[in-house]
Amino acid sequence: MNAISQKSLKFGVRIYKLCKYLEEKKEYIIARQLLKSGTSVGANIHEAIYAQSDLDYISKYSIAQKECSETLYWLEILKETEVLTNGECQ
């Protein structure tokens, strides 16, 4: 497993734990969206390891990048609505 794969796995675990916390606060809808996008990052990076071609590899990383962007969006909403503090979003 390369460094990006390891970091994306750790990121996915942190997102999972955050979503569990959000569910305790009854923030089910955003928790579900955040869980989907946040764990998809690592899933696509891990899929890229076994890409069938260079284009497939690029496609997987492109999807991972889009999922990162979506995850940041949900985190911003949580911060702006004060569900999470700035410190909790870091």
Q: How many domains does the chain have?
A: 1
Alpha carbons 10 and 12: distance in angstroms, whole number: 5
State the Cα angle at 64 between 36 and 33, rounded to 5°. Answer: 20
Per-residue pLDDT tens digits for 23-57: 999 999 999 999 999 999 999 999 999 999 999 99
Per-residue pLDDT tens digits for 55-65: 999 999 999 99
Alpha carbons 15 and 40: distance in angstroms, whole number: 11
Q: What is the CATH number of the domain that holds 15?
A: 1.20.1440.60
Q: What is the pTM of this model?
A: 0.89
Domain that holds residue 64: 3-89
